[in-house]
Amino acid sequence: MEDDEVETKATTNGAPKRRSSAKEMAAKQKEISVSEFFAKNRHLLGFDNPRKALLTTVKEAVDNSLDACEEAGILPEIWVHIEQTAESKYKVGIQDNGPGIVKKQIPLIFGKLLYGSKFHRLRQSRGQQGIGISAAGMYGVQTTGKPVKIISRISAKQPAHYYEIQIDTKKNEPRILNGGGDGVDIPPGDKGAAAIQKHGIEWIDQPHGTRVTIELEAKFVRGRGSVGEYLQQTAIANPHVTLHYLDPEQYQYDYERSTDKLPPEPKEIKPHPYGVELGRLAAMLEESDSQSISEFLKTKFSRVTGPISQKLCKDASISARANIHKLSRADAEKLYAAIQKTKIAPPATDCICPIGEELILKGLHQVVPGEFYAAATRPPAVYRGNPFVIEVGLAYGGTAPTQNITKELLTELLEETDARTVRQFLINTFNGLGPEAADKIVKTSGLGTRSSPSKLKPKERDKLFEAMKGVNVAEGQSMEVMRYANRVPLQFQQGACAVTQTILGTNWRSYGLSQSRGSLPKGPVSVMVHMASVWVPFTSESKEAIASYPEIQKEIRLGLQAVGRKLGMFLNKRLRAKQQTDRREIFLRYLKEVSTAVSDINGAERAALYDQLVKVAKKVTADADVKLDDRGRKIKTDELDLGENVLIVDPVTHAAAINRVERVEEES
Amino acid sequence: MAKKPSISTKTKSAPVVLTPRDKKTLSNITQLADGVVKAAAARRDPYVDIPSRTLANVHYSARKRILEMGNGKNRRQLFDLSQAKAYMRTMLVGSGCKKLIDQGKSTSLRGLFYMLKHTIEGSKENTFDEQGECDTIIEDVEVLLDSIREELHLYAENRGAMVGAITFTDKGDEINCARMGSGGYAIPSICEPDVIEFDPKKCKAKFILHVEKGTVWQRFNEDRFWEKHNCILTHGSGQPPRGVRRMLYRLHNELKLPLYCVLDNDPWGYYIYSVIKQGSINLAFESQRMAIPEAKYLGLRSIDYDRCELSDSVKIALNDTDRKRAKQVAKYPWFEKKAPWQREIKKMLDNDFKLEVESLISKDISYVTEVYVPERLEAQDWLD
């Protein structure tokens, strides 16, 4: 009807001629495979640019490995190896000591988008959708033409399987290239070693585990948003993991696990009625087997008891015994409205596995140089029917990365950077280095503001190196924020994240840090915020930022305040101690002058007089320590009572304060 | 730098003869240092008690009609954060003065400042940053040792000048103040009898006229006022320095010359008169040697605007500090009970403007020398 009308109108009114008819158009309309869609929209998955593609690939593989190991109850050990193969091509190999994958699943897991075990379960895990690793493989195939190589072994006695796979974007199906479309079996023992050699497979010999190798167009960087940063942050939030990372410049980083305890296995839970939207409810009603409505509510949801299901049915004016397949759309809507109105107990929270305050401290201490650490794990809370736990860790002090660096590493960093100015180079390369501190370094070094980092002459490099060592960057340095969702570091879209927003909204001045309005606090502080939940609400598919639900923000704020208060006490105490030392120093400074003057006048022995005066100074300042306060009461000796879950270390002897690359080499 | 050793050898070769005054001062300084050694040996906190140079510790002696310093003292401790530096500076000044006395030399306040100024070992802090910091410590040491600046071999920059019908000797040189041209004799900062010797026979002047500023003094000198009226003419560049005050004191007391002051009609002028007459709070310990209770205030008066029929244009409006200061001055014990002074100050406040001596020039260039001052002297019209 409509078509006809339009046609007549068009001809009579002299409107543009129709270009195509509905029938012709119908011929062009066809199903789009998920793989095809993502091939064209790869930015949605974190493959926007070569730099990010490299990170996303490593990230997806490592996340999958960790999930697999933990699910199988194995202490994870992971090897990440990045190697440059051509100008902008890199080969990424990630191996774990996980349970391995059975033969027939390998092609599906790595060669089919949206294939996995996690999506349908409501359980705390790192990955959620099962897009990641296969998308990385698809990206690799698209940009380099090289297949994804997987080798997996499930036990020492059984053969390992070796596959070379390409994803068929049209059909969303894996295409196996080697072994005549069936992969290659590698026997256990020495024979296997020979076979591995023959096929040119990279494999660190393990009784079980999986290694995936993807070659892709990428760009290797250091600093913010880099693979190194991701692995470092992963090591912090996963103190039970050992990570080995060999970067393209042959720098080896090893993060040893600081605990042998696996996090408890997260339980799978049924959805809570509050967390289910109308569409999902309708879908569940349709998908479920034929049963009564009250039975459906009781079995498919958590926290719905008999009386509550009765009440829900009554409120929705549906018979409790009605079959769910007989319910109309209107009934579903009524049921949904009834759920919102009814008070239902919050979901069980034992399905959440937080890292724990003790392990957060261990993880931070192992990786972040500092002198004061505090951690807080909040009690579980609920947003939209999903239970979650917020954890906050804080590290304060220590030497800045700019002061840790060796000259050789600086030279290499300068050569490889793509930053156009030295200032930009400094900000990009060193975590937590604010623009102000960078400006200060550049100014001290006396280099031109526009000099290009890669074109610095040796003398200029020396100057820059000296300046980096000499400038106290802690002044202009702003807080480093590490965000985690289910132990996975979030590295992008910092501004959009509930964590960042809450940190900005917290008044850090009352905890002894300086902070200008609407910006991160200043100082050598690192804060990690971890959200553990069965379902972390991300703002977008690339899983970079946590959505700002008021319940979540409240928990984050309380966690930040808990560690902030402890930091405040620590800083306050330190400030007082410093004032005391300053007092003594002032006296000591003048004593030499006084004794010189006195000996000039009456010929007294200068050195002896000075020594005597120093003794008096010590006595006097010791007395001052127990001075009375304004009201004449003795001021309490400042025993620092920070409660539990605080770690104070001497920054000078802190292992992580020493240049990390060197330290690792010593250990390995 | 290269010259330094040669100087020291020179001083060694010529032994210094110490005067009895020097010996007394030296023993005072040494006592100060001995106190530190004693305290340190006894593990006690060394301190010095410095007579307080504040308004609270100054009282007006109605009998002597001068300001006198009370017995109040401020304890300055080495081991007190707010006093440590001042204590150190006190000792530095002591050692600097000892050096000067030992070598038989004297230096300016600024010279001592440079002598003692250096960076404290192991810090970026200087012993002194500005001369003002050093000057106050010197005043402290003066009261502490009960030795005046001259005895510490220190002098200030020459300020103030004099001309007039008098001849005296200054370090053996004969100074005839009637032959000083347009510049006058610069009054030195040390006017003690061992430097300046008067001979009553060589003084023909009958009184002293002290004016506030050099510019006004120029007017009087150019008009040969001192010749016509047979007097001595001095000025003190505003607040008269100690040298000028000491000179006036000695002229007044030793040669029995009355002193008349011509100052601006503002609270500052009143205060200058008050300092000449009664002494200053800061230097109350020197009042005995400097204050001239018989000094008279000749002008300018608040009534002069009407009396001399001055034009509107010469008025300068009082500001808040002026008004505050005037009320303070009115409350000084030596003004408080004098009705003419109370009227004078009240009149100025009512006028709500002040007058400078130069304002008389609006009548005639030489009005002040030919009419104003002679008329006042003739009529004996002054404030006491």
pLDDT of residue A400: 63
Per-residue pLDDT of chain B (384 residues; tens, 9 = 90+): 444 444 444 444 466 778 888 888 889 899 888 988 888 888 888 888 888 888 788 888 888 888 888 888 888 888 887 888 888 999 999 999 999 998 888 898 899 999 999 888 777 788 888 888 898 999 889 888 888 888 888 888 888 999 999 999 988 899 999 998 888 999 988 888 888 899 888 888 999 999 999 999 999 999 999 989 999 999 998 889 989 999 999 999 999 999 999 999 999 999 999 999 988 888 888 888 889 999 999 988 988 888 888 888 888 998 899 999 999 888 888 888 889 999 999 999 998 899 999 888 888 888 889 989 999 999 998 888
CA closest to A599 among chain B residues:
B33
Q: Which CATH number goes with the domain that contains A75?
A: 3.30.565.10
Tens of pLDDT along A229-258? Answer: 899 889 988 989 999 999 888 778 888 888
Beta carbons within 10 angstroms of residue A377's beta carbon: 22
A542 with A555, same domain: the answer is yes
Residue A370's pLDDT band, with cuts at 50, 70 and 90, is: confident
DSSP A45: G
Flag whether B12 is in a domain.
no
At residue A596, what are phi and psi to the nearest 5 degrees?
Answer: -65, -45
Q: Domain boundary at B110, B129, B155, which?
A: B155
Determine, for residues A602 and B30 on separate chains, whether the beta-carbon distance falls below 8 Å: yes
- B111: CB partners within 8 A, 6+ apart: none
pLDDT of residue B8: 43
Residue with tokens 């030195």: B188
How far is Cα A389 from Cα A95, in angstroms, rounded to an integer?
30
At residue B133, what are phi and psi to the nearest 5 degrees?
Answer: -60, -40
**Tokens, residue B32:** 């100060």
Residue in B30, B88, B121 nearest the CB of A601: B30
Q: Chain A residues with CB inside 8 Å of B33's CB?
A: 597-598, 601-602, 604
Q: Which CATH number goes with the domain that contains A380?
A: 3.30.230.10
Q: Which amino acid is at A268?
A: E
Please tell me the pTM assigned to this model.
0.59
Flag whether A31 is in a domain.
no
Residue A2's pLDDT band, with cuts at 50, 70 and 90, is: very low
At residue A533, what are phi and psi to the nearest 5 degrees?
Answer: -160, 160
A222 with A290, same domain: the answer is no
pLDDT of residue B273: 92
User: What's the number of domains chain B is made of?
Assistant: 2
Query: Contact A556/A498 with Cβ under 8 angstroms?
Result: yes
| pLDDT greater than 70 at residue A476 | no
How far is Cα A22 from Cα A3, in angstroms, rounded to an integer?
8
Q: Which CATH number goes with the domain that contains A298?
A: 1.10.8.50
B288 with B197, same domain: the answer is yes
How far is Cα B300 from Cα B266, in angstroms, rounded to an integer?
9
Query: Contact A208/A156 with Cβ under 8 angstroms?
Result: yes
CA-CA distances (angstroms) from residue A570 to A326, A369, A396, A595, A646? 65, 17, 10, 38, 10
pLDDT of residue A119: 57
The secondary element (H helix, E strand) that includes residue A281 is helix A278-287
Q: Domain boundary at B155, B185, B204, which?
A: B155
Determine, for residues B44 and A612 on separate chains, whether the beta-carbon distance falls below 8 Å: no
At residue A421, what are phi and psi to the nearest 5 degrees?
Answer: -125, 160
CA closest to B34 among chain A residues:
A602
Largest Cα separation within chain B, whole Å, is 73
pLDDT of residue A555: 94
Q: What is the ipTM of this complex?
A: 0.75
Determine, for residues A601 and B33 on separate chains, whether the beta-carbon distance falls below 8 Å: yes
Determine, for residues B88 and A594 on separate chains, whether the beta-carbon distance falls below 8 Å: yes
**Tokens, residue A576:** 């007082």
Query: A419 vs A662, which has greater pLDDT?
Result: A419
Beta carbons within 10 angstroms of residue B150's beta carbon: 21
Flag whether A452 is in a domain.
yes
Which residue, among B324, B294, B320, B311, has the nearest Cα to B355 in the 3D structure? B311
**Tokens, residue B97:** 């003065």
Q: Which CATH number goes with the domain that contains B149?
A: 1.10.10.10
B130 with B207, same domain: the answer is no
Identify the active-site residue in B47, B87, B114, B249: B114
CA-CA distances (angstroms) from residue A434 to A438, A504, A569? 6, 16, 25
* Beta bridge mates, B154: B107
Which of B44, B78, B79, B152 should we substitute to test contact with A (largest number of A Cβ atoms within 10 Å)?
B79
Residue A170's pLDDT band, with cuts at 50, 70 and 90, is: confident
How far is Cα A587 from Cα B83, in angstroms, rounded to an integer?
10
Q: Give the gap in angstroms from C-alpha A608 to the nearest C-alpha of chain B.
A: 10
A509 with A453, same domain: the answer is no
B169 with B202, same domain: the answer is yes
pLDDT of residue A541: 67
Mean pLDDT in residue range A361-374: 85
DSSP A147: P
Residue in B39, B81, B92 nearest the CB of A586: B81
Which residue, among B74, B80, B81, B118, has the nearest Cα to B96 in the 3D structure? B118
Range of the domain at A640: 571-657
Residue A77's pLDDT band, with cuts at 50, 70 and 90, is: very high
DSSP B239: S
| pLDDT greater than 50 at residue A633 | no
Residue in B33, B37, B84 nearest the CB of A590: B84
A98 with A217, same domain: the answer is yes
pLDDT of residue A81: 93
DSSP helix/strand/coil, A391:
strand
